[in-house]
Structure 1
Amino acid sequence: MTDRRNHRYAVAVAEQDGRRQCTRLDRTALTGLDEAVAAVRGAANSDVSFGFFNADESFFLILRVTPAETALLLSDARAAQRHTLAAQALDAAGAAPPGGDAGAALPAGDLDIVSALGLTAAGMAAVLAGPDALPDDQLRVIAERCGFAAEFDRVKT
């Protein structure tokens, strides 16, 4: 069961000394895409860093930040109608907001975003397919499948 007090958090993940290290980021990283990218870059101690953002109980955002580029995965494009961070991420992904009243979650961006950590695009699609899964629970599953769940849980609380 998800701990409701942790429904808003931002965590950076990077490889250091052969281990994945998690760092809690300031909540200001949740205010917009530029702030999110800057927070992940600021916490980075490696060439490739990831940001896991749980903005509320309707979506999550994952960033992969390298010196040359930033990739992203927005768990549900429908959130762009209500949240600045989601709207900016959807725009950066080059996707249009969904029209009408879409029933199922509509991911946008790179499903292969954490393949370097051990979760393929097919595995990510399976995580996102859970109809009743909360974003916090989905991020926990992703961290578990990528091998850093204990560190992730410790840092996000």
Structure 2
Amino acid sequence: MAVQSVQSRDDTRDQALPGYAVAAIREEGRWRCARLDAAALVDLDAAITELRAQRSTGAVVGLLDVDDEFFVLLRPAPGGVSLLVSDAVAALDYDVAADVLDLLRIDLPAEGEDALWPEGDLGILADLGLPAEELEVLVGELELYPDEQLATIARRCGFADALDEVVGGR
């Protein structure tokens, strides 16, 4: 589902969070990864803007590992951006997750909600080798940390080595 970007919130710009923000770019059958600015972890609009600036003829996928709590996948498209947040409940505590739900036009979870569930486009990587059903199972693996889930996603899509080069030493 393609949706448009939202304005960033001024209160998130100066916050720093642990994790990483990476663009995976496929050109001429080869993957490369590039680190995004740390602001992408707190400001969804910053992440979308940086991904759009990659200007690739191939696939561009954003991977956000936010505070080792959840991840966000982003995929710019001509009419908007496809999104997936691994844990919708994270929107109660993290602006970037709340912005994802806002763009998806999904209400925030109820206060005190503790069940983990993904929201967004589970088919976001289907054309890159990771069907929606497999991504749903992977997101539901509670014993895996978000960086481990993203490493598995990268392996399934074929850019694990490129991702490891960028985030291996964090």
Asked if 2 retains the 8 angstrom alpha-carbon contact of 1:50 and 1:65, the reply is yes
| Larger deviation, residues 64-73 vs 100-109 | 100-109
Asked if 2 retains the 8 angstrom alpha-carbon contact of 1:14 and 1:46, the reply is no
The partner residue of 2:125 within 114, 118, 133 is 114
The partner residue of 1:87 within 76, 93, 98 is 98
Q: Secondary structure of 2:53's partner?
A: helix
1:3 match: none
1:8-157 equivalences in 2 (<5 Å): 8-46=19-57, 48-156=59-167, 157=170
Query: 1:50: Cα distance to partner?
Result: 0.9
Query: 1:20: Cα distance to partner?
Result: 1.7
Query: 1:153: Cα distance to partner?
Result: 0.9
Counterpart CA distance in 2 for 1:96 and 1:106 is 14
Counterpart CA distance in 1 for 2:141 and 2:76 is 27
Query: 1:43: Cα distance to partner?
Result: 2.3
CA displacement 1:31-70 (0-9 Å, x = unmatched): 2111110011122322541100111121110001122220
Q: Number of paired residues? A: 152
Q: Tell me: CA distance 1:10–1:44, structure 2 relative to 1, closer, same or farther (3 Å).
A: farther
Asked if 2 retains the 8 angstrom alpha-carbon contact of 1:28 and 1:35, the reply is yes
Letter in 2 for 1:151: A
Counterpart CA distance in 2 for 1:47 and 1:131 is 32
CA RMSD of aligned residues (A): 1.6
Q: Tell me: CA distance 1:12–1:44, structure 2 relative to 1, closer, same or farther (3 Å).
A: farther
Identity of aligned residues (%): 38
| Larger deviation, residues 101-110 vs 85-94 | 101-110
- Length-normalised TM-score, structure 1: 0.89
Q: Which runs of 5+ in 2 are unaligned?
A: 1-16
